Structure formats: structure tokens, C-alpha cells
Structure 1
Amino acid sequence: MKIKKIHTFALSLLMLTACSSKKPEKKIESEILTNIVSTVNTHDDLGVEGDFAENYKLINFIERMRDEHNFDEAELYKLFSGAKDLNQVPIVCKVNKKGQCVTNYNQGQWDRYKGMFIYERNIQRGIKFWEEHENTLNRAYHEYGVLPEYIVGILGVETAYGVNFGKKKVIDVLTTKSMLNDRREDFYTKQLEKFLIMARDSNLDPSNLMGSDSGAMGYGQFIPSSYLDFAVDFNQDGVTDLWNPEDAIGSIANYFYQNGWKSSLREVAIRAQYKGSRCRKLTTGYKTKYSQHKLRKEHGIIPHQPLHYQGAVSLIKLPKYSYDELWLGTHNFRVITTYNHDTFYGMVVHQLGEEIKYRRYNN
């Protein structure tokens, strides 16, 4: 598609010339027409081609980025002409008898999820990462109060310590989700805006940055808004680089700190015991908040070991193949889930970090 708005201006100018009481000289008229044609041809060269051609939402977005953030319009047209529509790529999933895509399980769900992140090779990667970046992790702890094992846990779950930064171009992901009627279109439009600002301010090429299916980037898989809000230049080299492990460590620590991490609270989650093998009567998950006294008195749920934290706890259920495992999550557990709003995510970060810490200091 080519932008034709300048044609309106050209037509208006010709009409004004024609309506003039004094007949213009041919030389002047010729110069005006030459300038108009030149201007029209210049603007005709602007336009989005490729997968997002004729996408009016994208045209409006480009114009807004030009007006509000002083982006070069021609450069944005060129960038988006190379973007790919990822909706054309088939999604592979498990299909049930009704032909429906199945992504959720019940019994054994935790065992399957845990196995994707807590395995020997990833544990060894985490131990090595901790050893190589011990000074940086300690500095992050002293500056932000975040225990090293939770930063290490995040990095292991997000990218296996830099092994997997993501296999999709961020510009493709964010353009597809923001311009093609994704249910979270407004969210991803904001992320696309911040991504372009991030790339420009950091002197990065937005057409080549790789990330996840949601447009997250770097060691800690920050989405663009998190980069602008929480990323820090922790190695003080003048560049805030999500692909630099030192900056990633400091940025994750700052994220937790800004989201309410309590440095005085060292307990994050603790195993609980109860009667029976399945917990079905109580609502569970990171959003829940129960009085410890009520859980103990009314439901017989008690921690396996003394819990010094006296505040409300989240009741966490981990469905295993033969029984449900219950845990109690403290305030800092809920802070971890602000990074990814998922109970299993918070628990696998906790368990991976704790396992790496134990193995590092006991082997």
C-alpha cells in the first residue's frame, strides 16, 4: 500500500490556483506542478509492504510514533515491511478426541512442569553461572536485598543461563500480536511502542533482536516495558544490555526490589502437611491469602518445619501423579509471581534456586 494523503493537498493547491482572479503565468504554473508531482512521488515511496501491507492500524501506529516520539517515518515503513505475520505459522499442540487443543492437565501436572526446568544439566549450568558471577550476585544482594538463589532460579527458568534467548524475531511477535486482532492487542501495541524506543535509545537494530513467543528478551526475558522500567546498567559500562549477564543480574534484582521484595524475609515457600492425598476443598494458588492459624485450626494444614513468617500465606497445590503436594508461600513468593503470574512458575523458580544453592555448598 502507498500513502496518498499528499494528493489531497496537491488537488487543493491546484483548485486555489484555478480560482485565482489573476491568470498565473505559465512558468509559475509549471513550477508549482513540478513541485507537487515531486512531492507526491516522494510520499508514494512510503508504505508498508509484505505481510502487513494495507494494515491501517499499523499505518496509524507509525504516524503516532513519528508525531509523539520523533521517529523517522520512512525507517519505520522499511522496518515493518520486513516484519512477518506469525499467525501464518501453525501452532503445534496436543489434540483431544473432540479435536480441541489441550494445554492443561490435572494429575501429574506439576511433575511434568517441574521436569522442564529442574534437571541435572540445568542444575549444573546454574552452579557454574553462580560460580562465575558470584561477585555480581553478592553485589546485587547488598544493593537490593534479593537472595542470589532467586536471581539464579529466574535465569535458569527463563533461558537456561543464556542457552535459549528465544527463536523468534521480536518485531515479528509484537507486530503480529498488536496489529492482527490478538485478544491482548492493546497490551502488545504498548510493548511494540516501548520496544522501538528501547532499540533506538540502546542503539540496537530492532529488525534482528530475537526473543520469546511473547516478545521477551535477554537473559531474564524482560518484555520492553520491563526493560524501560526496571533494567539497569549494573556493570556501569554506559549501556543497559539485557544480553549481558551482569546487567541481567542487577535488572532482575531491581525488578524484585521495585515490586516489594522484603530483604528481611528469607523464607519464600515451605512444604506443608495435611490429612489425605488430594486437596480439593480449598482454593489454592499464588493469589490466595490465608491466616496460618485458620489453616491449622480449621483444616489441619501445618508447615513441615517452623515458619517464622507470621503474615498471610498463599496456599500452593502441586498436583503430582499420586497425591497433591501442599506448600505455604510468603510475601516474597508472591513477589516472584509478579515476574510471571503463575503459581507453578513461582514454585519452580524457588525449587531450582534452592537446589542449586544446596548442591553448590554441599558438594
Structure 2
Amino acid sequence: MSSFGHAPKSHRGPRNGAQRASAVKRMTVRWLAGPVAAASLVLSAGQALADPGFDRFVNGFWPTAKAAGISSSTYKHVFRNMEPDPDTLKFMDRQSEFVKPVWDYLDSAVSESRITRGKEMMKQYSRELAVIEERYGVDREAVLAIWGMETNYGSFMGKHNVIRALATLVYAAPRRTDFWRSELIKALGIVQAGHVRFEDMEGSWAGAMGHTQFMPSSWQAYAADYDGDGRRDIWTSVPDALASTARYLKEHGWQTGKTWGYEVRLPQGFNFNLADEKTTLSLRDWDHQGVKRVNGRSFPRPEDDAILVMPAGAKGPAFLMLRNFFVIKRYNNATAYALGVGHLADRINGGSELAGDWAREYLPLNRDETAELQHELNQRGYHVGTADGIIGPATRAAIRAYQKSRGIIPDGYASVVLLARIKMDG
């Protein structure tokens, strides 16, 4: 689906000099060298150079495209005078050491301007949204929120030609080549079928397309023709794009009229072993555990199942996530994204801000810091296996064990505060 990360970055600055120094250090971006062939394609000013290797790729890819039903006329039209996309070459091997905290992500994703704009779009497309909601059973606020998150309601859908970007990835990307080849074939088929002009097929540097940023394979499986004109045009038709998003959510199990989750407060002495992001209890059972909504109201459907999620550990807000939250994650498998969509949908519909304080000093660890934490845990007998910088069940269990041994709330959350604490233990 989307390439994730095109929401505007927060302008909230660090609160003091130490935090500022830490933030500057952690926002350092590491650029890895791409393939030799790819590196030769880009000038310092970002201009693409003519590359014989890319021409050979275009000629060599034709039999594959032909076998998939792409006509010679479509292929020649699309690839005439094409050069590799320099931005795609630049970004495909970009690896950032900075991990954006969930609170910074939400500051921008659910900004006042985005909420206001969402309410305006709700009015402007009220008739279409009513039809879409009736047709697919997906609540209009959720559809609008995804549109807002993905492209800020169509204000920025990406400046790259999708076929050019995908061709560049097939040609030069060192990984996932089969995936990019399949997406490129599907993109060529979309143009050939007349759903969009090649020149209008804009999207991200990685091939996510249109108002709600479908990859070509997702377009093929889920795109909808709202107006019945025979085209599934997610680039220039807002109704088609919104209907496509609703269809995607419906096909992945959206529950009509139900929320994505509830912000909750945990009781004193809560059993944090239940906060493993996989334990499923009914809302009635969570209530019996002392977990209550922050607004004091009862759960409207106590038989609904939910999972407790604490995106920033015990110091931040806690949420009981329902089925629809995990359907949103099928669109983009990131907790911050799904939380942003759900909260934005609520705010568009007149809901209030989150009640909990994020405790922003508990910054998440980047991969190098996570590997360092894993090494420290291993050294102290809390075995996590290889210190690979990836937080999985073994690392969370080791963190909980260490926290319990030190009288810390055992939430399993890896933060800079935890890393500093364990290093101080010697």
C-alpha cells in the first residue's frame, strides 16, 4: 500500500539543550551506496544521465511485458526516451537512524489544519460519502482519515511517474526485484486498459499511486469505479479513490458502525503481562481487570474483543484496540499510522483530543541503540539471542524480566531512559 512517511514532519523542537543534542544526533541520516550502475546515473544536482544499461533493461524487459499481455504500442509509448528516476535511485537505499516518536507523528498526522480540512471534505463530498458508506459499509470518517493521512486530501500525491519509478526499481534495486517486476507489469496494464493516462499516473518514488496511495497490485485487487464510467481512476476522481479505499477496508474485514478502539486508564497494580499486544479479552473482561475508558463512560458493546496497546509504554496513553484498528493496519502495518487514522477519524467527527500525556522524554530507540540494549541484556543474563537491533518477543520478554528485577513497571518498552538505566547498572 502506501510507502508511509509522507505526513508532514512535526516542528515541535526539543525542550532543552541535552534533548536538542540528542535529537540532532539521532536525526543523522545514513546514505548507503547503491549499486555501481545506479550510482553512475545521478549528478550532484539530481539530474539523470543517459544510461545505456537502462536502455538494455527496457529492451530486455519487453518479452516479459509481452507475455503478460502488454501491447507493443503501449510499451513503446510508455518507455519512449525514459531515463531512470533520480529520486528513486536516491531513496531506495536510504536508511535513517532516526525513529520518529509516536507523539511527534501524531502531532503532524492529526494536526488542527488536517482536522479542519477533513471536516470541509466531509461537507464537500457528503453525497458521495453517503453512497460509499451504504455501498461498502465502511464509516465515512475512516475513509476520509486515510485520504488525509496518505496525501493530505489530494494536495500531494507524489511527483513521480509511477511506471518510471517502478522501472527504476526493477533495474537498480538490490532487493525485492520480483515484487517490483510484478508491480511494473500491473502498472503497465492499468495504462493499457485506459484507467489513467501514462502522463497522469503520478505517485511516490516507490510506486504508491493516487489520492489514497494504492500500489498497482492493490489497485488491481480493490480499486472501485464509483461513477460507472468504466475507469477506476484513483488519480483524478476523488469518488473513485474514496470508494476504492472503502472497498479495501471492507474486503479486509471492516465492522460497520464500530469504532477502532478506546483510550483507557489502567488501574493501580495492573498486570502488565496482559499488555503484550496479543492477549485478546472481551471489553467486559478488560473492565473486570479495572481497565476503564478515560471519559468515564461504559463500553457500548462489552462483548467486543480487544487487545491492549501502549505505543509508548506505561508512561504514555493506553488503548483497547478493536477489530477495525487491525483492519487499518492492513492498509499500513504501523501502529502509529493506524492510531493516527483512527484518531483523525474521531476528530473529524467532533471527537476530543487524547487525554493521556505521552511523557516525551521516553524516546524510542533506533536500531543501533536497540542492538546496544540487547547486548546489555545478554550480558546480564536476560537472553534475547542475537543483538540484531530488532525488537521481537524475546527482547520484550527480557526487558520485562529486567524491569521486574529492578522494581520498574514491566511494560516491555524499549526507550532511551531504559537503555541509560541498564548501562548505569554496570
- Tell me if both proteins adopt one fold, taking TM over 0.5 as the criterion: yes
Q: Deviations over 1:176-220 (max 9, x none)?
A: 323323432222221111111011112534355221233111111
Query: Which secondary structure state, in structure 2, belongs to the residue aligned with residue 262 of structure 1?
Result: coil
Deviation, structure 1 residue 131? 0.3
What's the TM-score once normalised by structure 1's chain length?
0.72
Residue in structure 1 matched with residue 184 of structure 2 by the alignment:
192
| Residue 116 (structure 1) aligned with residue 111 (structure 2) | no
Partners of 2:239 and 2:78 in 1: how far apart?
Answer: 35
Q: Deviations over 1:280-303 (max 9, x none)?
A: 756655xx3522466566x75444
Residue in structure 1 matched with residue 67 of structure 2 by the alignment:
67
Match of 2:280 among 287, 290, 295: 290
Residues 1-363 of structure 1: matches in 2 within 5 Å? 50-51=50-51, 53=53, 59-72=59-72, 75=76, 78-79=79-80, 81-86=82-87, 88-89=89-90, 101-105=96-100, 109-202=101-194, 204-206=196-198, 209-243=201-235, 244-263=237-256, 265-275=257-267, 284=276, 288-292=278-282, 300-304=290-294, 305-307=297-299, 308-319=301-312, 323-358=315-350
Deviation, structure 1 residue 245? 1.0
Partners of 1:357 and 1:72 in 2: how far apart?
Answer: 50
Residue in structure 1 matched with residue 41 of structure 2 by the alignment:
none
Partners of 2:298 and 2:261 in 1: how far apart?
Answer: 12
Q: Deviations over 1:139-184 (max 9, x none)?
A: 1111111111101111110111111111222123212323323432
Deviation, structure 1 residue 50? 3.6
Query: Which secondary structure state, in structure 2, belongs to the residue aligned with residue 250 of structure 1?
Result: helix
In structure 2, relative to structure 1, the CA distance for the partners of 1:55 and 1:317 (3 Å cut) is farther
In structure 2, relative to structure 1, the CA distance for the partners of 1:66 and 1:116 (3 Å cut) is same
Q: Deviations over 1:220-277 (max 9, x none)?
A: 11111111111111022332210211111211111111111122x5122101211479
In structure 2, relative to structure 1, the CA distance for the partners of 1:147 and 1:128 (3 Å cut) is same
Does structure 1 conserve the Cα–Cα contact (< 8 Å) formed by 2:70 and 2:188? no
Q: Deviations over 1:58-94 (max 9, x none)?
A: 554321111231421761783474333545436898x
Partners of 1:208 and 1:139 in 2: how far apart?
Answer: 27
Does structure 2 conserve the Cα–Cα contact (< 8 Å) formed by 1:268 and 1:329? yes
Letter of the structure 2 residue corresponding to residue 248 of structure 1: A
Does structure 1 conserve the Cα–Cα contact (< 8 Å) formed by 2:262 and 2:293? yes
Aligned residues: 298
Deviation, structure 1 residue 278? 12
Does structure 2 conserve the Cα–Cα contact (< 8 Å) formed by 1:231 and 1:252? yes
Does structure 1 conserve the Cα–Cα contact (< 8 Å) formed by 2:266 and 2:291? yes
Does structure 2 conserve the Cα–Cα contact (< 8 Å) formed by 1:277 and 1:323? no
Letter of the structure 2 residue corresponding to residue 61 of structure 1: F
Deviation, structure 1 residue 136? 0.7
Structure 1: 4+ residue segments shifted above 4 A: 54-60, 90-93, 275-285, 293-297
What's the TM-score once normalised by structure 2's chain length?
0.62
Question: RMSD of the alignment, in Å?
Answer: 3.2
Q: Deviations over 1:302-332 (max 9, x none)?
A: 4444231524323222328x92211111111
Query: Which secondary structure state, in structure 2, belongs to the residue aligned with residue 333 of structure 1?
Result: helix
Letter of the structure 1 residue corresponding to residue 66 of structure 2: R
Q: Structure 2: give runs of 5+ residues left out of the alignment.
A: 1-48, 353-426
Q: Structure 1: give runs of 5+ residues left out of the alignment.
A: 1-48, 94-99
Q: Deviations over 1:4-40 (max 9, x none)?
A: xxxxxxxxxxxxxxxxxxxxxxxxxxxxxxxxxxxxx
In structure 2, relative to structure 1, the CA distance for the partners of 1:267 and 1:120 (3 Å cut) is closer
